[in-house]
Structure 1
């Protein structure tokens, strides 16, 4: 992979074309893996004092990658205008154009590559460690959504149609059960029965969605998609705009609840420790609503509790589906990894239900 980047990808970017070090010795270009995303392959490139983030997009997951990079560019242009007007305070991970002015490089069998700006002094978290971190990150995602609230959502294409569509995800799970491609259905019967019992949540969702406006949403508000500044711990940037498209903000809120509130990582097998920390939930509400309180409609505000439950259940369903299909979507590091992730998310969902009254009070 490293040699592919050196020989076929970097020549399209100025980091290689204009670097004296690169020109004199290709070996001086340092390329290293970056992050631990489930979907794309990400690398940090350093050459001649210049840094660049390169990503090979997973075109099995994103079959229309040009829509993805065009959406990201449209969002960045809008945020740039908001920044100039003093209405956006975070840094941007603006797309880096190729030497011929394109947003990406399509190398066919060798992958679809795009580059974004690297932000020095940045760091990310896998598990929220403090109430302050939860509040700060939720405020950053809220600030991001607020800055995009006047961007026409219809201008963005659907990167993954029906991405946050629980009935569709449930149907995919049933298809996976029927096919049983990997011969794993028998070991998952308890969780499959549990999922089938959640029909009331789907009914509530069907009644709520018609009342919600379409917004430009991030759609993947995990804690590791927000960067902190290592120098002072402040919020620096919202990253991973791959799934930014039109949708409902309750899902962005719900994904923060899903990824901020548990003291365990989303693939932890310590299910007895997987729980919603109420103080973290309250901090998310404070940070997110503190930025978006005047933007949200009353129906949107009421939908946030639904979004929290839907996201925990839906991501669990997606992990379970991928496990049954033979781990074809999410990267895994061990056998049964996606089943562990599914059990983790279902446990978090159950913790939400167990604390419903006290948690809902944080949204009033």
Structure 2
């Protein structure tokens, strides 16, 4: 992984090519990320290019992050928010040969993970994402523009699914017949969401929208959460986006790429850790309606991701990278199995939610 026009990019931030060391950094697949280490300074920096195939208007990312950064700096100056470092011209991003770049500080003594190995990690992540949600609870989320239009809009995703189904060949539909039936069966999740969508007690909030564990930084020594990162999808949405995405990506020991669905089970201790961590920060902020939708948040996000994988399979695998022809169908099966686990364990999970709510109320 190389930086094209690296000298010009570095010059935008006042660096000289022969005065820094640049190395690829992290495991992300969307943006290209580099660690920049000045030879004569102790501070390090993260330099990222923005993938315009995913984020068609990178300037919106910059605007959203700056709006939130300014709000937090004014009201919660002690909070660690990883904002962009301006170019020497004062811009939030550098644009070189049509490529958008941003620079942020590297957080010392931090570590991130691609997978969870301990419920405490789930708790710390839920607490940190919940803290960001809480601090922004009085921020006017309507100021934020969509960086990916309709990203967590289940109505849109369902329409894309039905369009893909209509256009798909009979051969492809036959291969996916069971998953298509499952997708149609679970349509009630969308209908249930729509019954709450416009409620005053189900407001739009400033949400991260991508709460996988790799978007959390932990202290290397204490393993306590430091802050959240990767703010590309910071925009207005429902609280279920952040909480539900944690459930989707933390509850199972195996990722969405695991083809053996017998391995797809939920870890109850991780579920309790997520709910406890999130309520530690958001328990006093969530409305009664939102508290009723805690478990539903996981169902919503998992179902949405399942039909996105299925739609891509029906469309000929044009969006998600695949390693073999049936991978998106296997991913669909994986997510539907995870969804069924939530329904099969519903009574236990509801009891856990109620227990966590009671404990939070007792602490107040």
TM-score normalised by length of structure 2: 0.89
Distance in 2 of aligned mates of 1:329 and 1:46: 35
SS of 1:114's partner is strand
For residue 183 of structure 2, the aligned residue among 195, 198, 216 is 195
The question of whether the paired residues in 2 share the 8 Å contact of 1:312 and 1:349 is answered with: yes
Task: Compute the displacement of 1:348 (Å).
Answer: 0.9
Task: Compute the displacement of 1:13 (Å).
Answer: 1.5
**Alignment RMSD:** 2.2
Residues 1:231 and 2:221 aligned together: yes
Residues 1:92 and 2:81 aligned together: yes
- Residues 172 and 237 of structure 1: is their aligned pair in 2 closer, same or farther, counting only changes over 3 Å? same
Structure 2: gaps of 5 or more residues: 355-364
- Residues 247 and 94 of structure 1: is their aligned pair in 2 closer, same or farther, counting only changes over 3 Å? same
Residue in 1 aligned with 2:53? 60
Task: Compute the displacement of 1:308 (Å).
Answer: 1.1
Question: After superposition, what is the alpha-carbon deviation per residue over 1:297-355, rounded to whole angstroms, capped at 9, x for unaligned?
Answer: 11111122221101011012222223333444334455544333332222111111110
Distance in 2 of aligned mates of 1:178 and 1:58: 30
Task: Compute the displacement of 1:60 (Å).
Answer: 2.3
Distance in 2 of aligned mates of 1:311 and 1:148: 22
Residue in 2 aligned with 1:29? 21
- Residues 10 and 255 of structure 1: is their aligned pair in 2 closer, same or farther, counting only changes over 3 Å? same
Residue in 2 aligned with 1:46? 37
Residue in 2 aligned with 1:205? 193
Residue in 1 aligned with 2:65? 72
Describe how 1:1-364 pairs up with structure 2 within 5 A: 2-14=2-14, 16-17=15-16, 22-23=17-18, 29-37=21-29, 39-48=30-39, 49=41, 50-84=43-77, 86=78, 88=79, 91-108=80-97, 110-180=98-168, 184-211=172-199, 212-333=202-323, 335-364=325-354
Distance in 2 of aligned mates of 1:313 and 1:185: 19
Question: After superposition, what is the alpha-carbon deviation per residue over 1:116-159, rounded to whole angstroms, capped at 9, x for unaligned?
Answer: 22212222222221121111111111111111111111111122
The question of whether the paired residues in 2 share the 8 Å contact of 1:208 and 1:303 is answered with: no
Moved over 6 A (4+): none
Larger mean Cα displacement after TM superposition, 228-237 or 327-336 = 327-336
Task: Compute the displacement of 1:114 (Å).
Answer: 1.9
Task: Compute the displacement of 1:3 (Å).
Answer: 4.3
The question of whether the paired residues in 2 share the 8 Å contact of 1:215 and 1:248 is answered with: yes
- Residues 335 and 276 of structure 1: is their aligned pair in 2 closer, same or farther, counting only changes over 3 Å? same
- Residues 333 and 32 of structure 1: is their aligned pair in 2 closer, same or farther, counting only changes over 3 Å? farther
- Residues 165 and 272 of structure 1: is their aligned pair in 2 closer, same or farther, counting only changes over 3 Å? same
SS of 2:353's partner is coil
The question of whether the paired residues in 2 share the 8 Å contact of 1:257 and 1:281 is answered with: yes
- Residues 208 and 10 of structure 1: is their aligned pair in 2 closer, same or farther, counting only changes over 3 Å? same
Distance in 2 of aligned mates of 1:194 and 1:355: 18
Structure 1: gaps of 5 or more residues: none
- Count matched residues: 350
TM-score normalised by length of structure 1: 0.89
- Residues 186 and 55 of structure 1: is their aligned pair in 2 closer, same or farther, counting only changes over 3 Å? farther
Question: After superposition, what is the alpha-carbon deviation per residue over 1:156-177, rounded to whole angstroms, capped at 9, x for unaligned?
Answer: 1122222211121011122223
Question: After superposition, what is the alpha-carbon deviation per residue over 1:43-101, rounded to whole angstroms, capped at 9, x for unaligned?
Answer: 223332442222222222221211111101222222333442x5x3xx32120111211
